[in-house]
A and B are shown apart, each in its own frame.
Chain A
Amino acid sequence: MTEQIQYLIAALQLASQDALIALGIAVVFGIMGLVNFAHGEIIMLGAYVLLVVLGLPAPLAIFAVLIACAFVAVAMERIAFRPVRGSSASTMLVTSFAVSFLLQNGVISTVGNLPQTPELPGILSESFHVGAVRIQYLQVITGALAIILAVGLTLFFTRTTMGRRMRAAAEDLRMARLCGVDANRVIAAAFVISGLLAGVVSLLLVAQTDLVTPQMGSAPVLIGFVATVIGGLRSLVGAALGGFILGFVTVALQVYLPVDLRDFRDAFVFAFVIAFLVVRPQGLFGPAQERV
Chain B
Amino acid sequence: MLVLDQVETRYGRSIALHGISLHVDQGEFVAVIGPNGAGKSTMMLSIAGVLKPAAGSITFDGESLIGRAPERIVRDGIALVPEGRHIFATMSVHDNLLMGATAGRYSKGELGAEIERVLELFPALRQRTSASAGKLSGGEQQQLAIARALLSRPRVLLLDEPSLGLAPRVVDAVFDVLEKLSAEGITILLVEQNAAMAVEAADRTYVLRNGRIELHGKRDELVNMDSFESVYMGFAEGKAQS
Tell me whether A178 and B91 are in contact (CB under 8 A).
no
B82 within 8 A of A: yes
Q: Which of A127-135, A167-175, A209-217, A248-256 contacts B (4 or more CB under 8 A)?
A: A167-175
User: B90–A180 contact, CB under 8 A?
Assistant: no
Asked if A171 and B88 sit within 8 Å, CB to CB, the answer is yes
**Contacting pair B82 A178 (CB below 8 A):** yes
Residue among B86, B100, B104 with most chain A CB within 10 A: B86
Complex: A175 Cα to B145 Cα, angstroms: 10
Contact yes or no, B50 A180, CB < 8 A: no
Residues in B78-117 with C-beta less than 8 Å from chain A: 79-80, 82, 84, 86, 88-91, 95, 98-100, 102-104
A179 touches B99 (CB 8 A): yes
User: Cβ of A176 < 8 Å from any Cβ of B?
Assistant: yes
Chain A residues with CB under 8 A of B70: 174, 177-178
Which residues of B have CB within 8 Å of A174?
A: 50, 70, 86
Q: A165-B99, A168-B99, A183-B69 are in contact. Are A178 and B90 (CB under 8 A)?
A: no
Are the CB atoms of B90 and A183 closer together than 8 Å? Answer: no
Q: Number of B residues whose C-beta is below 8 Å from A?
A: 26
Closest to A185 in B: B71
CB-based contact B88/A178 at 8 Å:
no
Of A175, A177, A179, A291, most buried by chain B (CB within 10 Å of CB) is A179
Q: Given the complex of chains A and B, what is the CA–CA distance between A174 and B80 in angstroms?
A: 11
A85 at the interface (CB under 8 A from B): no
| Count of residues in A whose CB is under 8 Å from the partner chain | 19
Indicate if the CB atoms of A179 and B103 lie closer than 8 Å: yes
A202 to chain B, nearest CB (A): 31
- A126 close to chain B: CB less than 8 A: no
**Option from B69, B82, B95 in Cβ contact (under 8 Å) with A175:** B82
Q: Is A182 close to B, CB under 8 A?
A: yes
Question: Smallest Cβ distance from A22 to chain B, in angstroms?
Answer: 19
Indicate if the CB atoms of B91 and A171 lie closer than 8 Å: yes
Judge whether B125 is part of the interface by a CB distance below 8 angstroms: no
Out of B50, B90, B152, which one reaches A171, CB within 8 Å?
Answer: B90
Complex Cα gap A35–B52 (Å): 28
Instruction: Determine whether the beta carbon of A164 is less than 8 Å from that of B91.
Output: yes
Asked whether, in the complex, the Cβ of A177 is within 8 Å of the Cβ of B86, the reply is no
Contact B103 A180 (CB under 8 A): yes
What A residues does B99 contact at CB under 8 A?
164-165, 168, 176, 179, 181
A175, B86: Cβ atoms closer than 8 Å:
yes
Question: Given A175-B82, A180-B102, A181-B102, 13 more contacts at CB 8 Å?
Answer: A164-B95, A174-B86, A178-B48, A178-B79, A178-B80, A178-B86, A179-B74, A179-B100, A179-B103, A180-B103, A180-B152, A183-B71, A292-B84
B interface residues with partner A (beta carbon < 8 Å)? 48, 50, 69-71, 74-75, 79-80, 82, 84, 86, 88-91, 95, 98-100, 102-104, 134, 148, 152
Give the B-binding residues of A (Cβ under 8 A): 161, 164-165, 167-168, 171-172, 174-183, 291-292
